[in-house]
Amino acid sequence: MKITGLEVLTLPDHGDSMMLVVVDTDEGIHGLGEVGIRSRQRAVAGGLEHLAELIVGEDPRRIEHLWQVMFRRGFFPADRILGAAIAAVDVALWDIRGKALGVPVHELLGGRVRDHVPAYVHVGDGYHDRAWFLDRCRDLVAAGWRHLRFASPHDADGTLDARRCLRDSVDLFHQVRDAVGDEVELILDVHTRLDPPEALTLCREIEAARPFFVEDPLRCENPDSYRMLRTRTGVPLAAGEQYGSKWEFRTLIEDDLIDYARVDVGVAAGLTEAKKIAAMAETHHIKLATHNPLGPVTAASSLQLNLACPNVAIQEHQTDPDPAIAALFTARPTILPGRVELSELPGIGVDIDREAARRYQAAAAERPHLRTADGAFTNW
């Protein structure tokens, strides 16, 4: 079997762009992957053009070999942008391998260790209408969700005042806890918006409300910054969605600075790398909480990883695509309130009507631009 081509599909998704990669072979088997970075897709597209030159004509079954070539060739190792391109190709190669053998990918990763994967849901960003937001939490719980995620608030005009964000986050978290009771797990995503002093106070102020974890309380560039936070708060910490390789995860894992590794299969160089990160995390009793605010392809590849890894806590689920886009997928994961169902379909368990998908051309939406009160740029 030889790789004959690589095609990129861009589909609209709630005002954004879902970037998919199809790898074709001379035996008529194709694989599907998804790019996990939506904010810099033109840069990723350039990486995919380069990767196509490296892999066309190669045997798609040599997944580890091709991963090494894609990540290391050209002298400079891959970064997060190229890592996201590699991730999409790597998942597509696993999809091809599973389809060629007639088995789901989790069988190739060692077989399933669970019957389904627990999932959490996004509440949404309507926290400025507090009554609506709390009703939304209650409705999700009534529908069967047992893990809810929401982000730290910022002002509606795009201003982020760190101290006000701290106060509003603490207030919101306790209100949600009172609204849904003690049996529902709550996840607060700080979204790298706070500096260490505010992040520390926030974590300590919500400890009594027992968060399932606090996600990305600090920026990712310097993992050592988690050392201070780790020693001064008892809340479980989660991080890693912006990391593109096992080497970037190394400090957080080896120094026990987190409780949950937020591996994104579409960013961290694919299933080949994600499985290795999971093994590293297992040696430190760190569980996976896979990142996936994306589409059905990343949901499917995350499902395959999570079915085969023993140290998995939960999988992220944001929302389904718009109905017209969802209809393009001829197979996709079954997501019920609180869980992603087992799939026994060959490959990663998702496929698309490619001819219909080619009719769409979507551009990635620009991320929101937050600023401080004095006009300085700050993290969204």
Three-state helix/strand/coil letters over 27-53:
CCCEEEEECCCCCCHHHHHHHHHHHHH
Catalytic residue from among 14, 191, 285, 369: 191
List the structure tokens of 52.
């196509």
User: Active site residue: 106, 147, 154, 291, which one?
Assistant: 291
- d(CA 217, CA 203) in angstroms, rounded, equals 8
| Alpha-helical segments (H) within 21-129 | 41-55, 63-72, 80-101, 105-108
Task: Give the residue ranges of DSSP H helices in 118-161.
Answer: 130-143
Residue 191 appears among annotated catalytic residues: yes
Q: Is-contact 118 149, C-beta < 8 A?
A: no
Structure tokens at 149: 């995620």
| 291 in catalytic set | yes
Taking residue 104's Cβ as centre, other Cβ atoms within 10 Å add up to: 25
Contact 195, 162 (CB under 8 A): yes
In which element (H, E) is residue 225 found?
helix 225-232
Contact predicate 294/34, CB 8 Å: yes
Distance from C-alpha of 341 to C-alpha of 307, rounded to nearest angstrom:
10
Handedness of CA 275, 279, 284, 285 (dihedral sign): positive
Query: What are the residue numbers of the active site?
Result: 191, 291
